Amino acid sequence: MLLQGEIKDPKIGFVTITRVKLSPDMKHARIYFSVMGDEKTIRQTGHALNRARGYIRRTLAKKVQLKYIPEISFVVDDSLEYSMRIEELLNDIDNNDMEGNGPGSDTDSVVEEQEEG
């Protein structure tokens, strides 16, 4: 909610915080985020979030009671893109199997015959 309502930077678009990794001593937090848009939008959002780190830490210090407020850094979470790419590859494999182009299909035996001859 802090990102949505209190940070006024127009370069911070529709950001989703996907996870936070806190160091064992609770002095460092790595905040993973995703944002809809192209590479330029993602890069601009990352820069804007990192510029706002001081403000975010001060605001957190007012809202939570911790001995130390962790140093924070923002990291683009590309796991969604990675998952989508894996799904795309699996769909391609499945489609090739349905078309008869998978392992053991007739096209494999034609290639083997050409290599032998």
Closest listed residue to residue 89, CA positions, set 32, 19, 97? 97
Closest listed residue to residue 45, CA positions, set 72, 79, 7? 7
What is the residue extent of each domain of the chain?
Answer: 2-101
Q: 38 or 83, which is more confident?
A: 38
pLDDT of residue 75: 93
Q: 94 or 47, which is more confident?
A: 47
According to the 3-state scheme, what is the secondary structure of 50-103?
A: HHCHHHHHHHHHHHCCCCCCCEEEEEECCHHHHHHHHHHHHHHHHHHHHCCCCC
Looking at the structure, give the CATH architecture of the domain made up of residues 2-101.
2-Layer Sandwich (3.30)
The string of pLDDT tens digits covering residues 38-56 is: 889 889 999 999 998 999 8
